[in-house]
Amino acid sequence: MQNNNQNIKSEVRKTKEAILNQNAKVIWFTGLSGAGKTTISVLLEQKLLKQGFICNVIDGDIIRHKLNKDLGFSENDRLENIRRIAEISKMFLETGVITINAFVSPTEKIRNVAKEIIGENDFLEIFINSSIEVCENRDVKGLYKKAREGKISDFTGITSPYENPKNPFLEVRTDILSIEQSVEIIIKNILPLIKKD
Ligand code: ADP
């Protein structure tokens, strides 16, 4: 049966979490392209798996090229993109799986859509914060160059806004910290929440 109160776990979810010996959460990374969301997600997943936690990364590029290939980058399409991802995250959550999401999710409105669907208690918003200058210098996928040349429209940070989260669960400065340090801080903060007592 569907549980309408987002802050009360369904019995079936509790049973699944007990079998997996963990509390499920959605770890929602937000930040500019090149800030480090994907890199951190992959390493975080590896480390959590090593500690016996069942988790799953939902990566933006896979979603964009497959599930949501019908969507573009207009405000409405960005909202729809996140809405679908949040619904999928919710399914993982209900299965007891820790879900790691690596999406730019640039605006408060977009992140609120995700938070509403997932439920405030289970939505751990982590701001992967790196200055636009550092992200542009890294230019991992060459997207900033293309955006500057006008070859990509609505590019976050250049021609489309990024609103810093006002009250994230955690902020990680990836322009100051190493990848390892960033992941360690995240693990330290989420461990008390995902560990069964
Ligand atoms: P995003 O998924 O946010 O677009 P990526 O993970 O694809 O970003 O790219 C981030 C790049 O920044 C990678 O090349 C990574 O090696 C580098 N990097 C440098 N320092 C960090 C850090 N502390 N955390 C994450 N990535 C970092």
- 138 ligand 1 Cβ < 6 A: yes
Q: How far is the CA of 140 from the centre of ligand 1 (A)?
A: 8
161 CB-contact burial (10 Å; exposed 0-12 / middle 13-18 / buried 19+): exposed
* Model pLDDT, residue 60: 72
From the candidates 41, 105, 130, 160, give the one annotated as an active-site residue: 105
Domain 2-131+162-194, what architecture?
A: 3-Layer(aba) Sandwich (3.40)
* Model pLDDT, residue 75: 85
Which residues of the chain fall below pLDDT 50? 1-3
pLDDT digits (tens, 9 = 90+) for 139-152: 999 999 999 999 99
Q: How far is the CA of 35 from the centre of ligand 1 (A)?
A: 5
CA of 181, closest atom in ligand 1: 23
Cα angle: 60, vertex 84, 136; to 5 degrees: 25
* Model pLDDT, residue 7: 67
In contact, 195 and 176? CB cutoff 8 Å: no
